[in-house]
Structure 1
Amino acid sequence: MSERTQTESRKLLGRLREALAEDSAGQTRLDNITQLIASSMGTEVCSIYLFLDAETLELCATEGLNPESVHQTRLRMGEGLVGRVAKTSKIINTDDAPSAKGFRYMPETGEEIYSSFCGVPIQRLGDNLGVLVVQSKDVREFSADETYALEVVAMVLAEMTELGAFVGDNDAMHARHQQSVLLRGASAQEGAAEGHVWLHEPRVVVTNPIADDPDVELARLDEAVSQLRVGVDKMLDGAAGGDKEQLQVLEAYRMFANSKGWMRRMQQDIAQGLSAEAAVEKEQSTARTRMEQVADSYLRERLHDLDDLSNRLLRILTGQGSETGAELPTDPILIARNIGPAELLEYGRGLKGIVLEEGSVGSHAAIVARALAIPLVIHADKITTEALNGDHIMVDGDQGIAHLRPDETVVAAFRDKIAMQAQAQERYASIRDKSATTVDGITINLTMNAGLMADLPSLENSGADGVGLFRTELQFLVRNKMPKRSELSALYARVMDAAQGKRVVFRTLDIGSDKVLPYMTPQDEPNPAMGWRAIRVGLDKPGVMRMQLQALLRGANGRPLTVMFPFVAQHDEYRAAVAEMEKAKEREAVLGHPLPETIELGAMLETPSLGFAPQTFFEDVGFLSIGGNDLKQFFFAADRENERVRKRYDTLNISFLSFLEGIVNRCHSTKTPLSFCGEDAGRPIEALCLAAMGLRSLSMRPASIGPVKSLLRRTNLSEVRAVIVQARERGDQSVRPAVMEYLRTQS
């Protein structure tokens, strides 16, 4: 890049800064900027398009096109050359625009006389804000130096748009971070919460995108990068001698921190006239755009490393982030792209709600959120760029919605919902110590799911009859190394102490699929939910299973012990697991440790195959628990992590209920205790139908016990059973409409 080009670019940015510093309205600023760019680039046209909403671009300012088309011309994402730039986040540079693929003629603008076209995305950290366009009558492609200069200008426009420099009376020019925003995601944990935003990784706001002195900015960048490299070296020193794979990841991290190409590109941006912060962010935006287009998971992870390094570098340059000393609000709603279970546990029960851009219904974070009974919304696109620390926010975990900076009508309606839920909880508290006995005298055993010591107070408060599922994997997931047997046995002892004699069903380690231990080599499997997981891992790595079984035996310290093996697909797997327990008992006896008074061993029925196991299996197994979440996804061949299909199939589908009824009948014939565990057990209508099909024990999250018990106590189970039988005889696909109609007639 020539010195002359750099000088011209710096001159343009200098003039831009003067225009931005003027005390004028947003529209006037935009008009001045388009004139400046057109003049500096030697083009007849310069136009700025900004997003009106997620799918619509609006022409907000132009030099050279028909001025009457401003705020009138609109394009859908992908429509015309401008829409294509916005959709692909790639520059389009052509000397014959009318002949270019996707060109759309807009007669109101008068652009048909301009042959050359160069469109550059206006984006900040992967967030598309608009498109900057220059056009010329001359038949020519813009040079690499010219397009690079336009990228630099677009970077400044993105920063100024973010800061609200172009606020005006028009919809597309409202200041970001001031409007009410409705973010639709997916529900990963039910409940409603109101509070104020706390960003897990606060975004750095660049207030000085244009440099006063490039030499000063280059020196600042050098010093900050040196600090960054020292920090990465310290991380490596701290991990020395530890996990080999973790070391490899940190080595890759250091490689990026020392990347000459990364450094050279940022120095080049500064030479064009950007500040050190803006140069870092420009390269970060480019990396994020690449990240969204790369399918390879390894490359995506490496680009994520670069993204993380950029954030660290920005915090060093600006002093923003954790160094600011910002205090957690009294009613924090945690906002993050994603978060690990250990980090989430550090926040603890103080959080009112959580909203994630990524995540999944079965992720570690979702498991911890359920354990802590914190409403969680996942897949809330752009939440980390839309929200600022301290913003008012309302989270509806039932609907998978977040209301950011809500208006008064939303606030009033939402508070009514929270009040109604609170009233319902008071009503449920009045029946806490009563049994879940139906009108026709059938008692259903209602137990709770748990995974943390923090869950155990809910055992008494919710009125649960015991713990139907204690997820032991959480103690493995929240650590960066394998827990010791002594630590686990102490934990299991505390769990049994807290249960005060009530039955606790400990599920052995259920890892794999979406639950990968940070210190175990991840398996590159095309379909991990149906891969090497749960009991399969335990039997292939018996050392880990034996260690956990010994910890459970010691934790019981002579008390009755109940253990359940997950994801059993055939009788031989259950037999092998039982054999491991026998070996663990023999070892404990040799060591002189007390054995449990009684040991109940069971299996989770999560695969359809186990429902058709030989009669000998049902006679052999101590008890069965239907794992509804996994069983449903395999029964309907519908991935529960796939939003397109996971809600497509109803639990109350006749075929699924008939399958469950078959399991109930087989267990009844062999007198095998049977329960149902999963999200559906905690939904009152579903729970009622499961009970009507013959299930007499349901395990759910603590907050669901009250609503389920309330409905069961008000209903005649024999009548519900009759409604289901009639629906099946009619050939209904689902019994839901018939059961809902029956309940309406009873109210």
Structure 2
Amino acid sequence: MITISGKSVFGGVSIGKLLFYQRNDKVIKRTHVEDVDAEWNRFQEAKDTAVTQLKGLYDKALADVGEANAMIFEIHQMMLEDLDYIESIENIIRTQEVNAEYAVATTADNFAAMFSSMDDAYMQGRAADVKDVSERVLDILSGADTGLKEMTEPCIIAADDLAPSETVQLDKSKVLGFATMYGSSNSHTAILARTMNIPAVIGLGEGLLQEYSGREAIIDGFTGTLYIDPDEATLKEMQEKREKDLEQKALLEQLKGKENITKSGQKINVYANIGNVSDLGAVLKNDAGGIGLFRSEFLYLENTDFPTEEQQFSVYKKVAESMAGKKVIIRTLDIGADKQVDYFNLDKEENPALGYRAIRICLTRPEIFKTQLRALYRAAVFGNISIMFPMITSVGEVRKIKEIIADVKEELKNEGIPYKEDVELGIMIETPASVMVSRELAKEVDFFSVGTNDLTQYTLAIDRQNSKLDEFYDPHHPAVLAMIKMAAESAHAEGAWIGICGELGADLELTEEFLKMGLDELSVSPSMVLPLRKRIRECE
């Protein structure tokens, strides 16, 4: 038995096979070939295999997420059949007498550069698509096994770390837990684990070897331990520990349908944070009062191009209808920093957490922002949708947002498209600047939602993605709590309500403190709704 210690980011016990997330590290070399006809046939066979894979992905996506979201796989099929693309590859193979891999990679680079240089935003988006379909063909040609395309059984996912764009592609129904070599407790792997209610251990270091892939493993999310090839005594102990945990969760089930009310009669709303439509089942199962944070950026992370207005409208409408009149707060695009999307073509930044991200992208690229706002205002007809904006630092930003909203409403009105006029608007309080001018901001909006992850990061001047700084990252710091209290006082003074949608909302040690501050709402991972309700009902 091999025992590796790390850091727990979500409790619980998972038992199953370990499966390593593979990345494509292939190097494309230019090699001379004698038989160009055979090489051309190699490409054609790989292309046909890729088309077959894409058809399968389309069918799966159609069943999982609907036609609008599945359309990307049809587009990729068409790109692989594009005559200009195919002729370029054939020309390079035959005239230069080189291998198919080199011809595909060169064509991909040339076409991507051509698309990127165009003025039209739609055509610029094709750059990422041509790269994506070419990578698929290159994987087939080189026999590379990348990612987790085939998860045939439930397993524990192991990796050095996982980017947001990688976690969204996982078949979440088959993920038993996460075990990573690196990462911080505030990484997206950790947040996803808490959302999915599955055990996760990070910081396992170099001791987590790829050769362990396929072997039996146990994650003890309570102690932050990973066991490889556990002995019988450890397996028995962990099975008992898992049963006990499940029993405690069963007791929490009795709180369903109960109010979030203290012994002295103070009420508070408890909502859930989600990343996409597939999380709706967990929201309803855990009896959340609404959705306090829908991270709309995952629509962008899951796509290889800007999601269209219809794609977004379909998703927002489904969420609103599924929640049947309960509040659904959708945060506008929060791309940048650790959430990078290739087709946005964002420049590399020395300090991305302080850089071009979130509302700063939306206000300087209004064509992207307007598409999302149109979809949101249209979907609001079908339920109780509120909209909130991230990374706000000034009143001027909010007023500029309102001007763009006015333009969007006017467009929809002139086009005869139904939309909701009076959508509730709010902002994220996640910068010290927004706290310091919170009284003025409260006059402009209906509500505040405190993003405690970023607020802590910016208040303490600590990069929350840097695992070396975990011991200094203190969300309980008096300065952070003082910021939240000040924002709450400002909101209530101007008739706005305030909640928390950051990870701190689920910190049961602070629940009583938040109640004393008079917070109106706490939004947490679906799995934390009932434990938080239990804690609230125990408070005086």
Distance 1:599 1:362 in 2: 31
Residue pair 1:633, 1:646 contacting (<8 A) in 2 also? no
Task: Name 2:4's counterpart in structure 1.
Answer: 182
Structure 1 counterpart SS, 2:342: coil
Instruction: For residue 437 of structure 1, give the secondary structure of its aligned residue in structure 2.
Output: coil
- Matched residue SS, 1:569: coil
Larger radius of gyration: 1
Alignment of 1:442-481 (within 5 A): 442-481=266-305
| Aligned counterpart for 2:100 among listed residues 200, 210, 230 | 230
Highest relative contact order (Cα 8 Å, sep 6+), 1 or 2? Answer: 2
Change (3 A) 1:362 1:227: farther
Cα deviation, 1:574-603, whole Å, max 9, x if unaligned, reads 111122111111111111111216310110
- In the superposition, the TM-score normalised over structure 1's length comes to 0.56
1:332 counterpart residue number: 155
Matches within 5 A, 1:637-648: 637-648=461-472
Aligned-residue offset at 1:203: 12
1:376 and 1:397 in contact (8 A); partners too: yes
Secondary structure of the residue aligned to 1:355 is strand
- Shift of residue 341, structure 1, vs aligned partner: 4.7
Contact 1:466 1:502 in 2 (8 A): yes
Q: Distance in 1 between matches of 2:149 and 2:371?
A: 43
- Cα deviation, residue 571, structure 1: 1.0
Displacement of 1:383 after TM fit? 5.7
Partner secondary structure for residue 601 of structure 1: strand
Name the SS of the counterpart of 1:480 in structure 2.
Answer: coil
Provide the C-alpha distance between the structure 1 equivalents of 2:128 and 2:276, rounded to a whole number of angstroms: 32
* Separation (CA, whole Å) in 1 of partners of 2:18 and 2:453: 31
Contact 2:158-2:180 at 8 Å conserved across structures: yes
SS of 2:404's partner is helix
- Greater mean deviation of Cα atoms: 192-201 or 360-369: 360-369
Shift of 1:636: 1.7
Q: Among 3, 14, 17, which residue is 1:193 paired with?
A: 14
Q: How far off its partner does 1:617 sit?
A: 2.2
Percent sequence identity is: 27
> Which piece of structure 1 moves more, 473-482 or 398-407?
398-407
For the residues of structure 2 that align with 1:603 and 1:393, how far apart are their CA atoms? 43
Q: Please state how far the C-alpha of 1:417 moved relative to its aligned partner.
A: 2.9
Find the partner of 1:550 among 361, 365, 374.
Answer: 374
Instruction: Compute the displacement of 1:354 (Å).
Output: 2.0
Change (3 A) 1:359 1:661: closer
Instruction: Give the direction of change, closer, same or farther, for the CA distance of 1:310–1:331 in structure 2 (3 Å limit).
Output: closer
Query: TM-score, structure 2 length as denominator?
Result: 0.76
Give the letter for the 1:494 counterpart. K
Matches within 5 A, 1:65-464: 179-184=1-6, 186-201=7-22, 229-231=99-101, 233-234=103-104, 241-242=111-112, 328=151, 330-339=153-162, 341=164, 343-344=166-167, 345-361=169-185, 365-366=189-190, 368-382=192-206, 385=209, 387-464=211-288
1:512 is matched with 336
* Cα distance change on mapping 1:684 and 1:641 into 2, 3 Å: same
Corresponding residue to 2:403 among 566, 579, 586: 579
Q: Is the 8 A contact 1:188 1:377 kept in 2?
A: yes
Query: Residue 465 of structure 1: SS of its match in structure 2?
Result: coil
Structure 1 residues 403 and 424, CA gap change in structure 2 (3 angstroms): same
Measure how far apart 1:413 and its partner are: 3.5
- 1:500 is matched with 324
Go from structure 1 to structure 2 and tell me whether the alpha carbon gap of 1:570 and 1:399 turns closer, same or farther (over 3 Å shift).
Answer: farther
Q: Give a deviation string over 1:222-253, Cα, whole Å, max 9, x none.
A: x99x97942454466578745757979999xx
Distance 2:278 2:24 in 1: 31
TM-aligned CA distance change 1:556 to 1:614, over 3 Å: closer
Per-residue CA deviation, residues 349-391 of structure 1 (Å, 9 max, x unaligned), is 2111122334555555555544433433334323662543331
Q: Conserved in 2, the CA contact under 8 Å of 1:447 and 1:466?
A: yes
The SS at the match of 2:468 is coil
Distance 1:183 1:230, change over 3 A: farther
Deviations 1:376-415 (A, max 9, x none): 3334323662543331111234554322223344333333
- Counterpart secondary structure, 1:580: helix
Tell me how far apart the structure 2 counterparts of residues 310 and 477 of structure 1 sit (CA, whole Å): 21
2:496 maps to what in 1? 672
Q: CA 1:647–1:598 in 2, change beyond 3 Å: closer, same or farther?
A: farther
Provide closer, same or farther for how the CA distance between residues 643 and 503 of structure 1 changes in structure 2, counting only shifts above 3 A: same
Shift of 1:420: 2.3
1:403-456 deviations in whole A, cap 9, x for unaligned? 222334433333333222211211111011101111111111100001111111
Report the equivalent of 1:535.
Answer: 359
Deviations 1:434-489 (A, max 9, x none): 01111111111100001111111122211111000000000101111111111111
Tell me, yes or no, if the aligned pair for 1:651 and 1:686 is still in contact at 8 Å.
Answer: no
* Aligned positions of 1:572-611 closer than 5 A: 572-596=396-420, 598-611=422-435
Aligned to 1:175: none
Mapped partners of 1:409, 1:569: distance in 2: 55
Question: RMSD in angstroms over aligned alpha carbons?
Answer: 3.5
1:658 to 475, 479, 482: 482
Aligned to 1:149: none
Is 2:441 the counterpart of 1:617?
yes
Check whether the contact 2:438–2:491 (CA below 8 A) recurs between aligned residues. Answer: no
Tell me the CA shift for residue 677 of structure 1. 1.3
Residue among 386, 396, 405 paired with 1:562:
386
Specify the SS of the correspondent of 1:519: helix
- Letter in structure 2 aligned against 1:389: S
Where 1:448 maps in the other structure, the secondary structure is: strand
**What is the rounded CA distance, in whole Å, between the counterparts of 1:649 and 1:339 in structure 2?**
21
Cα distance change, pair 485–235 in 1 and its aligned pair in 2 (3 A): farther
**Contact 2:398 2:444 survives alignment (8 Å):** no
Change over 3 Å in CA distance of 1:654–1:369 after alignment to 2: closer
SS at match of 1:333: strand
Deviation, 1:326, is: 12
* Deviating more after overlay: 393-402 vs 575-584: 393-402
Alignment partner, residue 119 of structure 2: none
Q: Is the 8 A contact 1:199 1:384 kept in 2?
A: no
Give how far 1:506 is off.
Answer: 0.5
For 2:457 and 2:262, the matched residues in 1 are separated by: 30
Report the counterpart of residue 88 of structure 2 in structure 1.
none
Q: Give, in angstroms, the shift of residue 711 of structure 1.
A: 1.5
Q: State the Cα deviation string for residues 683-704 of structure 1 (Å, max 9, x = none).
A: 2222232222221310000101
